[in-house]
Structure 1
Amino acid sequence: MTEPTLNYVSCPDTNGGHRMAYWQWGNPASRHVVVCAHGLSRQGRDFDVLAQALCDKAGGDLRVVCPDVVGRGESDWLKDPMGYQVPVYAADMLAMLAQLQAQAPITTLDWVGTSMGGLIGIILCGQPGLPLPVQVRRLVLNDVGPAIQWEAIVRIGTYLGLAGEFDSVQAAADAMWAISTGFGPHTPEQWMALSRHMVKPVSGEPGSRFRLHYDPAMAVPFKQSTEAATRQGEAMLWQLYDNIKAQTLLIRGKNSDLLSPETAQAMVQRGPHARLVEFAGVGHAPTLIAGDQVDVVARFLLA
């Protein structure tokens, strides 16, 4: 597998700005860009397998860009934790797309969003008049929709932001697997590949322990949300979803506790009339590294 290049974009905020990192695969001059946006506590290297497969199948004429949403991975941490919210993330994506456009004009833009990354995609695709280089052509929503099951939010809140240190990457991988079995079956090698980018050395010294890659403070606004506020936000998200013009693929883990079957069916019947594909034996959320999952996404984006 080849390695992506690490890049940065400067993004404004009320505390002097921050840098967002993004990983770029494929041909940096390609006019066809696929953005892959990760879930709440994840980072852009989650998409290594998918990005490599897309570039290979596209025959060298594709740019795949995988941001580390602010507070994660190689991106800066925010001075104000209340900035860790989806509208801020969407604004950062606009800054990144403007930089990509300046580097090489974009004529085709697609979006793959897992969980939180899908909510960012709904915001960008559902608001006419945003300064996108071009409108999103094809949108992949991975196990997320305008309505999110409150029980899943409570479950995520039990572990989000809990700081800790690990003696090894393997120990961290084991701890993460304990809260991530909903991702579905993975070989030890697959899980280690997903896990190694989820931790950072506590110090630069040899033999250093490891910590999770993200700012624990991003849990602050998440844990302040209430069921009533979440339900109020659904109406706005449905309105945005109904505005989407992009061809839309909805992926759902059949055992998902976040995206209900009822919400998935409603997404098929309204707005962009998403095409629904479900994967058995998987909950929230498919990691898009299994061959059948990669093939579904690749066929949709590269048809």
Structure 2
Amino acid sequence: MPATPRERSVSGISAAGFHRLAYVDWGPANGDTPVLCVHGVTRQSRDFDFLANTLTRMGRRVICPDLPGRGRSERLSNPDDYALPQYCADINTVIARTGAQAVDYVGTSLGGLIGMILAGMVGTNIRRLVINDIGPYVSSTGLSRIGAYLRELPVSFTTLEKAQAYFRSVLEPYGDLTESSGIT
């Protein structure tokens, strides 16, 4: 039976003031070493539902935050704050909220960059680091593709169907995203 996620939030802080960081908390609330899953630049916490369900069945606690301006987290008031130092501070705040002395970290793309920075710092509480879709070097082709995607991303959609059609079109290079693929 799938686990039931708990929706939580904590206050992060930037130079401009406080902002709400949302996260999804799966599994036992007092698990020893939670798994922290951090998404990519245009994604959100629920990308990890399948992984979180699997790990929860193994008895693990899984924490999946929404970075500022994504998912259920508030936007930052200063656009210049959307940068690695702010993301690292926000993820550290989420980790502190868990009460865990250490975390096993899973990061995709931007989430991987954040994890690499935090794991490389003195006194880190990252016990294990798993990253995907990122490395210490990002090609100019990849950066151009991401930049074009972000520039063209609509602010909102009038219907769920229009949002699904848009994302299926944009994400088509990543495989079959039709109803029959099981990904909706």
TM-score under structure 2 length normalisation: 0.91
Give the C-alpha shift of residue 175 in structure 1.
0.7
Out of 153, 170, 177, the position equivalent to 2:161 is: 170
Q: CA–CA distance in 1 between the matches of 2:11 and 2:83?
A: 18
Give the C-alpha shift of residue 140 in structure 1.
0.9
Cα distance per residue 1:83-138 (max 9 Å; x no partner)? 1112210111111111111xxxx255201000000000001101113xx4xx3222
TM-score under structure 1 length normalisation: 0.57
Q: CA–CA distance in 2 between the matches of 1:26 and 1:144?
A: 28
Matches within 5 A, 1:278-289: none
The equivalent residue for 1:12 is: 13
The equivalent residue for 2:36 is: 35
The equivalent residue for 2:129 is: 139
Out of 156, 166, 172, the position equivalent to 1:181 is: 172
Structure 1: gaps of 5 or more residues: 193-303
Out of 111, 115, 118, the position equivalent to 2:112 is: 118
Question: After TM superposition, where is structure 1 displaced by more than 4 Å over at least 4 residues in a row?
Answer: none
Task: Check conservation: 1:173, 1:191, Cα contact below 8 A.
Answer: no
Structure 2: gaps of 5 or more residues: none
The equivalent residue for 1:268 is: none
C-alpha spacing 1:107/1:166, structure 2 compared with 1 (3 Å): closer
Q: CA–CA distance in 2 between the matches of 1:3 and 1:125?
A: 29
Cα distance per residue 1:16-48 (max 9 Å; x no partner)? 211111100000111121000001000000000
Aligned to 1:79, the other structure's residue is in SS state: coil
Give the C-alpha shift of residue 168 in structure 1.
2.5
Task: Check conservation: 2:27, 2:56, Cα contact below 8 A.
Answer: yes
Aligned to 2:34, the other structure's residue is in SS state: strand
C-alpha spacing 1:97/1:108, structure 2 compared with 1 (3 Å): closer
C-alpha spacing 1:53/1:97, structure 2 compared with 1 (3 Å): same
Aligned to 2:55, the other structure's residue is in SS state: helix
Give the C-alpha shift of residue 182 in structure 1.
3.4
Task: Check conservation: 2:108, 2:133, Cα contact below 8 A.
Answer: yes
**What do you get for the CA RMSD once the two structures are aligned?**
1.7
Q: CA–CA distance in 1 between the matches of 2:4 and 2:131?
A: 25
Give the C-alpha shift of residue 178 in structure 1.
1.3
Count of residue correspondences: 181
Q: CA–CA distance in 1 between the matches of 2:135 and 2:28?
A: 31
